[in-house]
Amino acid sequence: MKITSSVSDIRKIVLNWKGRGLSVALVPTMGFFHGGHLALMRAAGSKVDRIVVSLFVNPAQFGPNEDLNRYPRDFERDAGLAEDEGVDCLFCPDARDMYPSGFQTWIRVEGLSQGLCGASRPEHFRGVATIVAKLLIIVQPDIAIFGQKDFQQLQVIRRMVSDLNIPVNVIAHPVVREPDGLAMSSRNIYLDTRERESALSLFQALRLAEEMVARGCRSGPEVVRAVRKHIQSYNKTKIDYVFLGDPKTLKQKQDIVGETLLALAVWVGKTRLIDNTLLNSNEQIKLQNINIR
Amino acid sequence: MKITSSVSDIRKIVLNWKGRGLSVALVPTMGFFHGGHLALMRAAGSKVDRIVVSLFVNPAQFGPNEDLNRYPRDFERDAGLAEDEGVDCLFCPDARDMYPSGFQTWIRVEGLSQGLCGASRPEHFRGVATIVAKLLIIVQPDIAIFGQKDFQQLQVIRRMVSDLNIPVNVIAHPVVREPDGLAMSSRNIYLDTRERESALSLFQALRLAEEMVARGCRSGPEVVRAVRKHIQSYNKTKIDYVFLGDPKTLKQKQDIVGETLLALAVWVGKTRLIDNTLLNSNEQIKLQNINIR
């Protein structure tokens, strides 16, 4: 596995592959790999000839009071895990190269960035859209794979790629979960034993909502109420949002008619966790049955 | 000369050229070609194997009360002129394809877009940056050529290309002028005979400033005062700005020390004209001697 922090190096590496007719995937990450990241790498490997994983803790997507400095990092471990997954190149640029002195160009996906996580993290998606555009323009992959846990991020990126005519196929990967259902996240490491128990309330609340819909409930407010009640029954939880709406436009919906996104953001102690599921989706493989490793 | 309005067509055409090892230039235009556009095409032809000219009157760079609807258009004439200049492909996309329903991704170059033309045209450079990024991402040229008349636009694009890592060489072409010095512009067609005389005040004021600097004047306020006075001595002129500052950062300067941008925006009747020169520049070929065709 090649490891480079240089923009011109990664360009040369990918150009060389493309010149030989090889297809390329990019898996953008902030490192501290867990099973979710590894699943994205594995999915990439099943679709293309060469896998690039970018590892960059992007300062622009953290707010001033967020966890940029304490965000977990372990480069040696990450490099080992990526190599084990058959990754061909690990691209880990420097912040000074990504945001050099005088940097001032920002990409906004206006509507989709506003609600949900955008409401409590006002510049977050500007940072995400800008760095992902840069990485796609630098690496020029045929496909790029993103986890569906960050559902709003996925839709922001899909819209940006389409609006800016970036020639890449954006692929979503289902949420990967711990054996008990907790969505995998680098931030789970922040949780102490009791918080870890409370963190399970997100997954359980999603499953509760799925069961309500399976039993015929179509009332958004009723589902949201039940979800809130369930989460609040746990210690140290504080709900940021419980959102029910259209998965494409991210506009709120009253009734659960057609495919409907149920997305959650919950503080557990000092850790903000997110999770989501698609209700009423024909294509949906139910949460109970998937990705429980 | 090929003519296409299709994004996938132009991609295929350029990919085919690149596969054969040919270099490609993009000359982005809004059409209604004059000598300035033709000079850009000629300059492109001297540097690369294949020239793409894009022709798109970009609605996103016009303000709500600006001249989008009356902006001059003459496709047949433009196609003939481009063909005569040896252009290989004219790319003239539809607004509905460039800004499809639901479009919501915008690129801002924050500092550089704020003063000068950005002050009176608040969303103008957002529209310029976004469409130029789209065109560069679609066409993927080796070089892109822009006229120096739109100096702020040039710097906004240079910064965007650098910040977003777009792999293109941005080339500036000196202002091309009418025999009497008026900077060529598609908007010159709006001017009646008397306004055409007043329009010359911009070029003359720039030359006046150059002469002051050549005689040793280094005071910004003194030069600005003389320039304003000269322009205001003409009928139907109304100054939007007379700017003196750093050509890279577009920050205002008091003294004419080092290379200094003098940029003007002046209403002549209902037509807004711009022009500029670099004062105190070693590399500068003086206005008197260049591009007077």
Mean pLDDT of chain A: 95
Query: Who contacts A198 (Cβ-Cβ below 8 Å, separation ≥6)?
Result: A234, A235, A236, A237, A268, A269
Q: Test A165 with B137 for CB contact under 8 angstroms.
A: yes
Q: Across the interface, do B109 and A112 touch by the CB < 8 Å criterion?
A: no
Give me the amino acid identity at B14.
V
- Please report the pLDDT score of residue B290 as a whole number: 45
pTM for the structure as a whole: 0.95
CB pairs under 8 A between A and B: 70
- The residue ranges of every structural domain in chain B are 2-173, 186-289
Q: Which residues contact A67 (CB under 8 A, 6 or more apart)?
A: A187, A190
Q: Does domain A2-173 have CATH number 3.40.47.10?
A: no
Question: How close does chain B come to A104, measured CA to CA in Å?
Answer: 5
Is the CB of residue B8 less than 8 Å away from at least one CB of chain A? no
Q: Which among A104, A128, A130 is the top mutation candidate for probing chain B, defined by the most B β-carbons within 10 Å of its own β-carbon?
A: A104
Q: How confident is the model at residue A281 (pLDDT cuts 50, 70, 90)?
A: confident
Q: What is the mean pLDDT of residues A151-156?
A: 98
Check pLDDT > 90 for residue A190: yes
Nearest residue of B to residue A125, measured between CA atoms: B105
Which of B112, B159, B165 lies at the smallest CB-CB distance from A134? B165
Looking only at the bridges linking them, the beta strands covering A105-109 and B105-109 are antiparallel
* Residues of chain B where predicted confidence (pLDDT) is lower than 70: 282-293
Neighbours of A119 (CB within 10 A): 13
- Report whether A202 contacts A233 (CB < 8 A): no
B37 is catalytic: yes
Closest Cα of chain A to B132: distance in Å? 10
Q: Is the pLDDT of residue A49 over 90?
A: yes
Torsion, CA A187, CA A188, CA A190, CA A193, rounded to 10: 170
Interface of A with B in 101-140 (CB under 8 A): 102-112, 129-130, 133-134, 137-138
- Give contacts of A159 with chain B, Cβ < 8 Å: 102, 104-105
CA distance B12 to B18: 10
Q: Do the domains B2-173 and B186-289 sit in the same CATH topology, yes or no? A: no
Give per-residue pLDDT as tens, B212-250. Answer: 999 999 999 999 999 999 999 999 999 999 999 999 999
**B167 with A105: Cβ contact below 8 A:** no
- In a mutagenesis test of the A interface, which of B96, B107, B114 is the best target, namely the one with the most A β-carbons within 10 Å? B107
B163 contacts chain A (CB < 8 A): yes
Instruction: Tell me which chain A residues have a C-beta less than 8 angstroms from the C-beta of B105.
Output: 107-110, 129, 159-160, 163-164
pLDDT reported for residue A291: 45
Q: Do B138 and A7 touch (CB under 8 A)?
A: no
Nearest C-alpha in B relative to A98:
B163
For chain B, give the DSSP string.
Answer: -EEE--HHHHHHHHHHHHHTT--EEEEEE-SS--HHHHHHHHHHHHH-SEEEEEE---GGGS-TTSSTTTS---HHHHHHHHHHTT-SEEE---HHHHS-TT--EEEEETTTTTSHHHHHSTTHHHHHHHHHHHHHHHH--SEEEEETTSHHHHHHHHHHHHHTT---EEEEEPPPB-TTSPBP-GGGGG--HHHHHHHHHHHHHHHHHHHHHHTT--BHHHHHHHHHHHHHTSTTEEEEEEEEE-TTT--B-SB--SSEEEEEEEEETTEEEEEEEEET-TTPPPGGGSSB-
Contact A143, A48 (CB under 8 A): yes
* Of B34, B37, B124, B173, catalytic: B37
* DSSP one-letter code for A228: H
Residue among B142, B155, B165 with most chain A CBs within 10 A, to mutate: B165
- Among chain A residues, the shortest Cα distance to B107 is held by A107
Contact flag A106-B111 (C-beta cutoff 8 Å): no
Q: Out of A133, A163, A167, whose CB is closest to B164?
A: A133
User: B160–A112: do the CB atoms touch at under 8 Å?
Assistant: no
Q: Which residue in the set A7, A109, A138 is minimally distant from B104, CB to CB?
A: A109
> Which of B10, B91, B105 best probes binding to A when mutated, by most A CB atoms within 10 angstroms?
B105
Query: Which residue of chain A is at minimal alpha-carbon distance from B110?
Result: A104
Which of B247, B207, B251, B198 shows the shortest CA–CA distance to B227? B207
Using a CB–CB cutoff of 8 Å, tell me whether B250 touches chain A: no
Alpha carbon of B166: minimum distance to chain A alpha carbons (Å): 6
pLDDT at A76: 98
| Averaged pLDDT for residues A168-191 | 97
Task: Locate the chain B residue with the closest alpha carbon to A20.
Answer: B19
Tell me the shortest Cα–Cα distance from A186 to chain B, in angstroms.
27
Which CATH number does the domain B186-289 belong to among 3.20.20.20, 3.40.50.300, 2.40.110.20, 3.30.1300.10?
Answer: 3.30.1300.10
- So what's the pLDDT on residue A293? 37
Closest residue in B to A111 (Cα) is: B104
> What are the b/e assignments for B27-38, b being 16+ CB within 10 Å?
bbbbbbbeebbb
Please give the pLDDT value at position A73. Answer: 96
Active site residues of A: 37
- Of the pLDDT bands very low, low, confident and very high (cuts 50, 70, 90), residue A287 is low
A137 contacts B163? CB cut-off 8 A? no
